Amino acid sequence: MTVDGPAPQSECAHIAAGVARTVAEGSAEVAVLLEYSFPGEAADDTLPAEMSSQYRGVVDFRSDRASLTDASTVLILDGSVTYQKMPDGVWTHTRHAQRAGHWTPTHPRWALEVLRQGCRSAAPDGEPDVVDLDRDRAAAVTHPGLNPDWQLRARTAFDDNGRVCRVEIMMAGFASPDTSMRTTVEFTRFEHAAAQIDLPLESVDLAGYLDAPSLEQ
């Protein structure tokens, strides 16, 4: 039976308190791992069955921004807006309809808010807590939304100061359990990270950039 309304205080209070302590630190260094599995969509070999991206950087909770990089990508996340530096040096953006309180799954704040706002129950499973998440409440903070077939769970770990140091959000289809997405975020060096994250002075819409004819043609 689906449980509606606020999460049980006795089960989720320490989750909410841990998220609040984490955000109150102001900034942190982060490692973000995104893993996808879409075997049905990869049947025609146009997409790999499994994909992953691993980023490192810093999140500034005060400005709601994060700066992340991997081996070939530079991202600046401003709430629900994603800026990406392309290989030719051009910054692109995906603005859509920017709304406060919404984040993409790449933004470190997303995992924390899904944990805090989506918690329905939390039970210790050794070390870390296993958290059952409400899909509708998680979708309400996710840009651009979540697949209605997905079921969500999380695992969390806290440091000695009660802050979230690791959160793993697991999403899998009910009708197609082989389709899944996993976001894992680790938080370290609270308040010691360089927190000033400036937005690009100029950027172009990603869709327009991709549709533009190549200069080499």
Q: Please state the domain extents for the chain.
A: 9-54+103-190
Per-residue pLDDT, 100: 80
Give the mean pLDDT per block of 10 residues along the chain (217 residues). 47 92 96 86 56 95 96 94 93 77 95 97 73 95 89 95 96 82 96 83 87 54
Rounded to whole angstroms, how far apart are CA atoms 104 and 75? Answer: 12
Per-residue pLDDT, 11: 75
pTM higher than 0.95, yes or no?
no
| Distinct helix (H) and strand (E) counts, the chain | 4, 12
Per-residue pLDDT, 4: 46
Edge-first strand listing for the sheet containing 81-85: 119-124, 129-133, 150-158, 164-173, 180-188, 27-37, 50-60, 65-69, 74-78, 81-85, 91-94, 204-205
Side-chain half-sphere exposure of 106, counting CA atoms within 13 A: 25
10 Å Cβ neighbour count for 141? 20
Per-residue pLDDT, 212: 64
Per-residue pLDDT, 7: 47
Rounded to whole angstroms, how far apart are CA atoms 121 and 153? Answer: 10
Per-residue pLDDT, 201: 93
